Chain A
Amino acid sequence: MTLQALKHLHRFDGGLAYFLATGKLKISTLGIHYQIPWLHLFPLAAWIISMFVMSGIVAGFVSVNVMALVWLERKVSGLIQNRMGPMMINILQPKMLASSKNPVLKWISVWFGGWLQTMADGVKLLLKEDIIPVNADKWVFITAPICVFTASLMGYALIPFAPQFPIIENLNIGFLFIFAFGSYTVIGILMAGWSSNNKYSLLGGMRSAAQLITYEIPMLLALLGVVMMTGTLKMEKIVNFQRSLGTHHGHWLILYQPLGFLIFLIAGIAETNRTPFDMPEAESELVSGFNTEYSGFRFSLFFLSEFSNMFLSCALGATLFLGGWSGPGSSYGIIAFLWLMIKAYGLVLVFMWIRWTLPRVRIDQMMEFGWKVLTPLALLNILWTGGEILLVKIQGYQHQYLYIWFPISLLVLAMLFMPKPKKKREHKLKFAPFL
C-alpha cells in the first residue's frame, strides 16, 4: 500500500459507525464507493449488528490494552521498588540475556522479561472456581460486575482515537456522555458491596460511593474551564480547537488550564480508586473491600474495569488537555492514533508513579480534601478561565500573550500548596460511618 493510500485510509465519510450501520464504505478521496449488498434492506438488523460489532471492537481493544497496562504496572512498581518485577513467563526468553554484558540487551531483558505474565494470570483467573456465597443476594451479586464493566466500556465510544474516526459520531453532548454513564460504576460497586452479605464488602461499597460522588464534582467543574474556552462539548472539536491555537501543531490546553489539569488528574486518580485514594479496597483495613467475596471470572471483570477506567481517564485527559491525536504527522491516521496512545500512556505512567510513591490517605482526610480543597480550587479555575476569555475578548490580547498566565498560575499553585504552620487542634472522634 502506498503512503498516499495509507494517508486516506482513515477518511471514511461518516466514520466507522456509519459504515457499520449502513454497510456503505465511502472514501471519496480514493474514489471508493462500496456497499455491502443486502444490508440496506434490513436497517434494524444492520443497526443491531453494528452495535454488536462495535461493542466487540471496544471490548477487544480494552482487553488487550488492560493486559499491557497490568504488565506495565508491575514493571513500574518493580522499577520504583528497585526490583525487576515479573520475569518468568516469556516466549522469547529475554531472561537469558540478563547475564549479558551488553547494557542494551540487559535493559531489554529486564524491561521485557515476563511480558506474558498477564496472560498466565488471566488464564488462572478464568480456571478458578466461581463461588457465589450461600447467603448472597444471588442476582444482584451476578449483575454487579457486569454493570461495572459495561459502564467502563461505554466511555470508549466517545474518545477520538484518530481524526474523523470516532466510534459514535455527532453526539453533541461529547464527554458529558462519559460521565453520565460512567456513574453506573458506583451503582455496580454498591450492588457488589450490598449483595456479598459481608461487612467489609458493605463498608467498601459505601466508601466507594461517597468517594465517587465527592470527586465527580471537582472533575466536572475543572472540565467546565475547557468547555468555556472551546465553546463545545464535542471531543473532536476540542482537539481541533487546540490545533487551531498557536502556529505549528497548536497549543495544548494545559498551557491555559494548568490548574484545571491538576484538578482533573487528582480527581481522576480518586475516581479510578487508585492508591492515595483506594479506600474502597484498602486491604489493610477491609480485606479486599467490595470485591472480597468475588472469585474467578467475576473478580477478573472488576479488575479489568478498574484498569480500563484508568486508561479511559488518561485518554480523556490526553484528548482534552494534551492535544489528543494532534502532533507531527497526524494527518496519517495511524500516526495520529499513536500520538494519542503515547500521550495517554504518559499519563498512565504518571498515575502509576503516584500510586507506587504515595501512601494511602485516611477516609476523612480524603473527604475533606475533596470538599474543602479541590472543589473551591475548581471554582477558582472557572473564575480564572473567565479572566482569560475577557482578556482575549475585550482587551484583544493575542493568544500568545496568554502564556503570561502560565507562570502566574504556577506561582498561585505554589502559594496554595505551601505548607502553612497550623494551629494544633484536638481531634474528637466524630460520627464517621465510613471509618
Chain B
Amino acid sequence: MRFYAAADEDHKAQKGNIYENRIRLLMSNSVLFYSLAVLIISCAFAVVFLRNIFHAGLFLLGAFLGVAGIYIALFNYFLAAVQALVYSGAIAVLILFGIMLTQRHYRKEDPSHNAFKWIAFVLSFGIAGFLVDSFRSLKPGSIFPVKHLLYQMGMALMQTYAIPFEVISALLLVALLGAFSLAREKEDL
C-alpha cells in the first residue's frame, strides 16, 4: 500500500524548523507584524483616497499581499497561498480587468467620494468595532503554529464538515449558473 505513504511520512516528521524559529523571533520583536500592518493600512488608505481607479485597484492588490504575509507570519502557508491565488490572482485581476474594459478615458480622475460617504463611515466603524470586540478575547501567544495544518484541514473539510463543504459547492454552482444566465445574449432565448 504505497499510496498515501508520503502523507503518513509527512505526518510523522516532527522536526524543529529553523525558519519558523526565525520568524517567531521576528514576531516576538513585532517587526514583521508592524511592518505588514503599516503596509496593509497604508494600501487600504490609498485604495480609498486615490482618485485614479486603476491605481486604487493596484493598491488593493498590495493590501491582499500584506494579508498573505500575515498568514505566513502565523505559519499558515496554505492560507497564504490561497490568499495570493484567489484574492490577488483572481479577484484583483478581475477588478483591474473590469476597469480596463469599462474605462473610456485614460487616466480619468474620478471623485473618490459620493453621497453615501457618511453612511459608509458609520458602517465601517461599526464593522471595525465588531471585529475588535470579537478579537478581544485572544491574548498574545494564544495563536500558535499547528503541525501538519494542511493534513488536518483536509481531514476537517472531508470528514467533520463534509456537508457544509458540499453545500458551499452547490451554492457556487448555482452562482455560476446564475451568472451564465445573466450574461448570455437575450436573443437566444
Chain A residues within CB distance 8 Å of chain B = 14, 17-18, 21-22, 43-44, 47, 135, 137, 140, 169-173, 176-177, 179-181, 183-184, 186-187, 190-191, 193-194, 197, 202, 205-206, 209-210, 213, 216, 229-234, 237-238, 240-241, 244-245, 389, 392-393, 399, 430-431, 433
B93 adjacent to A205 (CB under 8 Å): no
A140 adjacent to B6 (CB under 8 Å): no
Chain B residues within CB distance 8 Å of chain A = 1-10, 17-19, 22, 25-26, 31, 54-55, 58, 61, 77-78, 80-82, 84-85, 88-90, 92-94, 96-97, 100-101, 106-107, 148-150, 185
| Whole-angstrom CA separation of A431 from B183 in the bound complex | 11
The smallest C-beta distance from B72 to any residue of chain A, in angstroms, reads 10
| Whole-angstrom CA separation of A392 from B2 in the bound complex | 9
Which of B3, B25, B94 has a CB less than 8 Å from the CB of A231?
B3
For residue B1, which residues in chain A have a CB less than 8 angstroms away from its CB?
392-393
Q: List 27 contacting pairs A-B, 8 Å CB cutoff, sorted by A.
A: A21-B19, A21-B22, A171-B77, A172-B148, A173-B78, A173-B150, A180-B84, A181-B84, A184-B88, A187-B58, A187-B61, A190-B93, A193-B100, A194-B54, A194-B100, A197-B106, A202-B100, A213-B90, A229-B3, A231-B7, A237-B6, A237-B9, A241-B2, A241-B6, A244-B2, A393-B3, A399-B2
B96 adjacent to A172 (CB under 8 Å): no
Closest 5 CB pairs of A and B: A183-B89, A231-B7, A180-B84, A180-B81, A232-B6
For residue A206, which residues in chain B have a CB less than 8 angstroms away from its CB?
97, 100-101
For residue A171, which residues in chain B have a CB less than 8 angstroms away from its CB?
77
| Whole-angstrom CA separation of A38 from B71 in the bound complex | 31
Asked, given contacts A140-B55, A209-B93, A229-B3, whether A170 binds B10 with beta carbons under 8 Å apart, the answer is no
Scoring B6, B26, B80, B84 by chain A CB atoms within 10 A of each residue's CB, the highest score goes to: B6
| Whole-angstrom CA separation of A191 from B52 in the bound complex | 14
For residue A240, which residues in chain B have a CB less than 8 angstroms away from its CB?
6
A231 adjacent to B4 (CB under 8 Å): yes
For residue B26, which residues in chain A have a CB less than 8 angstroms away from its CB?
44
For residue B150, which residues in chain A have a CB less than 8 angstroms away from its CB?
172-173, 233
Scoring A17, A135, A177 by chain B CB atoms within 10 A of each residue's CB, the highest score goes to: A177
| Whole-angstrom CA separation of A234 from B5 in the bound complex | 13
Which of B18, B77, B106 has a CB less than 8 Å from the CB of A172?
B77
The smallest C-beta distance from A335 to any residue of chain B, in angstroms, reads 24
The smallest C-beta distance from A252 to any residue of chain B, in angstroms, reads 15
A231 adjacent to B185 (CB under 8 Å): no
A231 adjacent to B58 (CB under 8 Å): no
For residue A187, which residues in chain B have a CB less than 8 angstroms away from its CB?
58, 61, 88, 92-93, 96
A433 adjacent to B61 (CB under 8 Å): no
| Whole-angstrom CA separation of A196 from B153 in the bound complex | 44
A14 adjacent to B18 (CB under 8 Å): yes
For residue A193, which residues in chain B have a CB less than 8 angstroms away from its CB?
100
